[in-house]
Each structure stands twice: as structure tokens, then as C-alpha cells.
Amino acid sequence: MKRWVAVVAVEVVVVLLGVGAAVWSWHRALADTTFAAAGRVPEFVATRYLGSWILLAVTLVVLAGLFAIDAVARVLRGVGAGTR
């Protein structure tokens, strides 16, 4: 097996894990706080966004995108080198 094929396979796994971790951390970034009803005031649910989890999600997406670009470039170079 050619080395670039193994590297591309590892990069695809890293991309999938990175996107999955980004989705998980984005969901961790949402924090709901429920305020109980008091008298005539109805119940209220406030949503807070936690910046550190959002930053982690964005960083993971950026890194996954870089690995995806590199994997595509390696495939194009590898396939192109095989046709010459």
C-alpha cells in the first residue's frame, strides 16, 4: 500500500472525529436556566452561551477543515502521480 493512502485514511478519521467533537462541544456550550413562575409572571427559560465551548467547537471545525483540505490535496497528487 502506498504511504499517501494510509495518510489520507488517517486524515479522514481525524476529520470525522474533529467534526463529531465539535458538535459535542457546541451542544455543551448551551446552558438553560429555568425561572419558576411567580404569581402572574409565567415561567421563563433563559439560554446562556458558554464562550469557551464555542471557541473549542470553532477550533475543531477549523482544524478538521485543514485536515480535509490536506487529504484532498494528497489524493489529487497521488492520483495524478499514478497516471503519469
Predicted pLDDT of residue 13? 97
pLDDT above 70 for 47: yes
* Exposure of 47 in the CB half-sphere (CA atoms within 13 A): 5
- Domain of residue 14: give its range: 3-82
Number of domains in the chain: 1
Predicted pLDDT of residue 1? 63
Could you tell me which residues come within 8 angstroms of residue 77 by beta carbon, excluding any fewer than 6 positions away?
A: 4
Residue 32 corresponds to which cell in the numbers above?
A: 438553560
Q: In whole angstroms, what is the distance from residue 63 CA to residue 15 CA?
A: 8
pTM of the predicted structure, to 2 decimals: 0.80
Predicted pLDDT of residue 2? 83
Instruction: Report pLDDT digits (tens) over 6-35.
Output: 999 999 999 999 999 999 999 999 999 999
